[in-house]
Structure formats: structure tokens, C-alpha cells
Amino acid sequence: MRKPCCEKKETNKGAWSKQEDQKLMDYIQKHGEGCWRSLPEAAGLLRCGKSCRLRWVNYLRPDLKRGNFGEDEEDLIIKLHALLGNRWSLIAGRLPGRTDNEVKNYWNTHLKRKLVQLGMDPNNHRLGLTRPSKSFVSNNNHTYKAVNSNSQALNSTSDPAESNTSSLPDLNLDLTIGLPLMD
């Protein structure tokens, strides 16, 4: 059995200070990520390794994208969710700079509600019984409609006149699990 990630004594919990963020960023910039269990002490932080790892991965990494999700990102999340379901890390892998947790939270707080308002079931992306003729036209001229009941995916075209086709766009989903490729 593995021992806990930290001895629960004298570790800070709750919000991170700017000074703690800076210590963590400085340490990782100089030494790399390494072993998260030993990092807090080496960096001079009174935090557990898990807390440091989550802070870095979800908030401090320089490649993270900040700000609101764009319509193109929303479109892609909806399409990928139709294909992959709640596999947030696979979906986030197609959205550079977005974390799996951020994508999951955005789905649950915004996009799921948007599909419900359009009369679509957010679990299977099919039109519900309450508003079967409702469709959604976004500002970038994409029309969303649920495809026939034999399919569980969305149909999206740039031309609303072509929205009756039942083919999905080529999303180039190279979904492999393994170590990230180093450039």
C-alpha cells in the first residue's frame, strides 16, 4: 500500500498566493517537473506534491490558453463529445492550451445547457421530443441539427442548405494512448 502524498502536518491548503505560484514556476523552470513528491520541499513550498502538480498542470503552465472559449472551440467540443462521450482528456487533447478539467467544466456549465435549450439530449446529441424542429445557427454560419435517430452524432455544415447530409466532418482523430511525443 502506498503512503499518503504528504504528511498532513504543516502543509498549506486552500488558495495559492502569488509568492507560492512564483516559487513553483521558478523551480520548474530551473529544474523541470521531476518528482512531484519531493518538489515542494526542494522548491521551499509548504504544499503537498499533488497540490503542486495540479496547480502547475491546470493553472501555471506557460502553454495554457486563458480566457473564454471561442465558437470554434465550442463547435469542436460538441462534435467530439458526440463521438467520444465524456472522455475529457481525449477531447482536451484536440484543443491546444485547454485542460481536461477546464473542458469538462465548460461542458457542464455552458454547452450541455445550450444543447438542452435547442431541444437536444446532451447525452446522445439527438433531438428530444419537446422541440423537434429547433436548430441552432451560430454566428459563424454553422447549422447544428441532430442527424437521424440511427446516429448519435451531430451534423455540421458551413452552408445551411447542405445541412441535411448525414456525414460527419473529418476530425482527424489520432486517438492513441502513450507517452507524449517530444519535438
Residue-level pLDDT, tens digit, the chain, 183 residues:
766 666 666 788 899 999 999 999 999 999 998 899 999 999 999 999 999 999 999 899 999 998 899 999 999 999 999 999 999 999 999 999 999 999 999 999 999 999 998 888 888 888 874 444 444 444 444 444 443 333 344 444 444 444 443 445 566 666 656 666 666
Predicted local distance difference test score (pLDDT) of residue 11? 86
How would you class 95 by CB atoms within 10 Å of its CB: exposed for 0-12, middle for 13-18, buried for 19 or more?
Answer: buried
Secondary structure letter of residue 4 according to DSSP: P
Q: What is the pLDDT of residue 163?
A: 42
Spatial contact of 117 and 131, defined as CB atoms under 8 Å apart: no
Please tell me the predicted confidence (pLDDT) of residue 126: 86
- pLDDT for the residue 176: 59
CATH for 18-60 is 1.10.10
Burial of 66 (C-beta count, 10 Å sphere; 0-12/13-18/19+): exposed
CATH architecture of 71-162: Orthogonal Bundle (1.10)
List where CATH 1.10.10.60 sits in the chain.
71-162
